[in-house]
Amino acid sequence: MFTVTRPIEEASLARWAQKVKRSQLQEILFAAAKPGIISFAMGLPAPELFPVEGLMKASRDVLANDPRALQYGPPFQPLKSQIVRIMAERKVSCCEEQILITTGAQQGLSLLVRLLLEPGGEILTEQMVYTGFHQVFEPYEPLVLSVPTDAGTGIDVEAVASLLSKGARPAFIYAISSGHNPLAVSLTHAKRLRLVELARQYRVPVIEDDPYGFLNYEEVALPPLKAYEEKWVFYVGSFSKILTPGLRVGWLVVPESLITKLSAVKEASDIDTNTFTQRLISRFLEREDLDKHLSRLRREYRVRRDAMAQALRAHFPATAKWAIPDDGVFFWVELPPGVDTLALLVDALERERVAFIPGQAFSIDASNKATNCMRLNFSHSNPELIMDGIARLGHMLRSCSK
C-alpha cells in the first residue's frame, strides 16, 4: 500500500504567507544567473578581492587550536571587542555590552523589526529601499508611512518631520545613511543631524542599515547616524561587504538594555551565529591588517566606479541621469519617463546578455514606481566587463530610442 502525498493547500498557510510570491523580477533574475551573462544586478563584492590567504591561515589556526569552534557556543566575546574598535574608527563610541553578533545584517534587521513592530503597526521609510527590508517587514502587514527620496540627496527629512509633527508615531524609521541601496546616495551632515534630532525629539528609533559605510571613495566620509545619536539609533553592521558575505556575520549596536531581549529573539531563529566563522573573523582581525584590506577594496572599487561612470558617459544617451556615488557599490540611473526598465531587462538578457535591477523592484509606494530607473552594481565586475556591459546596454538604449 502506498499513500499519495497531496500538496499543502494555500489555505492552510498563514494569511501573510498565502500572499507571498516570487516576484516576476526574481523569476527573470533566476533565469539570468547563467554563465556568460554580465551581471550588474546583485550587490556582490568582488570574489578576487576576498582576503583568501588570511582567511585560510586564520581558519587553519582556529580549527587546530580551538575545539569550541565547531560546538554550540555563546557569542564570541573577543569579536565583540574587535567590533567596538571597528566602530570607533567610524567615530561611534560603544561598549561590548551593546553589541549583538548576528547572522549578517539581514538577521540584524529582522531581529530589530521583530522586537519593535506589532503586527499591523506603523513604520516609516523612504519610497525606495533595499528589497531585503521589504521581505523583513511584509509579514507584519504594517501601515507603511513612506516619504519621498531621491538619488541627489536621499530621504526627505522634512517630510519625516512633518509626519511626526502631525502625530505619527511609527515603530521605527528605517534609514540607509551611506551608499544607499538602491539610490547610491549618502546623507549630508545636515540631514544626518536633523534625522537624529527628530528621532530624539519624538522618541522614535532609527534603524540605521549600514553595510556600505566602510566603502567610501572620497576624502571625507561622514560617520554613521549612530555617531550623532547614541540612544535612538539602532545600528546594523556587516562583514559581508568588507570581508566576505559567505561567512554570514554582522552585528548590531543597540542600547545595552535591549540585548537580552534581542538575544532571546535570535535564539528562536538560529540559536547561535555560526561559532566557527565568528572565531575565524576574530582571528583574521587579530592577525591581519583590516585597514590595509579596506584601503585595497576602496582603491579597487574606486577604479570600477570610475570605469562605470566613464562607460555611462560614453554609451548611455545624454537624457540618462546619474551621479557618481561617494560610497557603496551601486549607480542609480534614471532614464526618460516612458522607458520601462523591466521590459528592457528582458531584452537586455536575451539580446545583450547583461543583467541589472529595474527600479520598480525597490519601490514601496505606488506613487513612485521608478519604472524608468535601473540599479547597476560596479563592485562585482572588473573594469573591462563594466565597459563591455555598459556599452551593450547603451547600444540597446540607443536603438530603442530611434
C-alpha cell at 206: 532609527
Alpha-carbon distance 264 to 162, whole Å? 36
Q: Does 182 bind ligand PLP (CB under 6 A)?
A: no
Alpha-carbon distance 95 to 99, whole Å? 7
**7-46 binders of ligand PLP (CB under 6 A):** 43
Alpha-carbon distance 251 to 206, whole Å? 16
Close Cβ partners of 39 (under 8 Å, ≥ 6 residues apart): 32, 33, 354, 355, 377, 380, 381
**Is-contact 145 164, C-beta < 8 A?**
no
Q: Does 117 bind ligand PLP (CB under 6 A)?
A: no
Among 83, 171, 176, 227, binds ligand PLP (CB under 6 A): 176
Residue 238 CB, nearest approach to ligand PLP (Å)? 3
**243-262 binders of ligand PLP (CB under 6 A):** 245, 250
Residue 155 CB, nearest approach to ligand PLP (Å)? 13
Residue sitting closest to ligand PLP (CB): 104
Alpha-carbon distance 286 to 76, whole Å? 14
Which one, 237 or 394, has the nearer CB to ligand PLP?
A: 237
Q: Does 275 bind ligand PLP (CB under 6 A)?
A: no
Among 106, 149, 341, 360, binds ligand PLP (CB under 6 A): 106
Q: Does 126 bind ligand PLP (CB under 6 A)?
A: no
C-alpha cell at 298: 576602496
Binding range to ligand PLP, per CB under 6 A, among 91-99, 100-108, 134-142, 283-291: 100-108
C-alpha cell at 302: 574606486
Amino acid at 42: M
Q: Does 277 bind ligand PLP (CB under 6 A)?
A: no
- Residue 94 backbone class (left: φ over 0; alpha: ψ -120 to 50; beta: rest): beta
Residue 270 CB, nearest approach to ligand PLP (Å)? 13
Among 73, 78, 121, 132, binds ligand PLP (CB under 6 A): 132
Strands 233-238 and 206-209: parallel
**208-227 binders of ligand PLP (CB under 6 A):** 209, 211
Among 32, 105, 221, 361, binds ligand PLP (CB under 6 A): 105
Q: Rounded to the nearest 10 degrees, how much is the dihedral formed by the CA atoms of 109, 232, 43, 186?
A: 160
Q: Does 131 bind ligand PLP (CB under 6 A)?
A: no
Binding range to ligand PLP, per CB under 6 A, among 167-175, 222-230, 237-245, 381-389: 237-245
Which one, 98 or 106, has the nearer CB to ligand PLP?
A: 106
Binding range to ligand PLP, per CB under 6 A, among 104-112, 116-124, 303-311, 371-379: 104-112
**Is-contact 113 137, C-beta < 8 A?**
yes
Residue 303 CB, nearest approach to ligand PLP (Å)? 21
Close Cβ partners of 17 (under 8 Å, ≥ 6 residues apart): 139
**Is-contact 148 162, C-beta < 8 A?**
no
Size of the site for ligand PLP (CB under 6 A): 14
Burial 17-45 (b: 16+ CB within 10 A, else e): eeeeeeeebeebbeebeeeebbbbbebeb
**43 to 62: interface string for ligand PLP, x by CB under 6 A:** x-------------------
Binding range to ligand PLP, per CB under 6 A, among 98-106, 223-231, 251-259, 333-341: 98-106
C-alpha cell at 308: 562605470
Residue 274 CB, nearest approach to ligand PLP (Å)? 13
Which residues make up the interface to ligand PLP (CB under 6 A)?
A: 43, 104-106, 130, 132, 176, 181, 209, 211, 238, 240, 245, 250
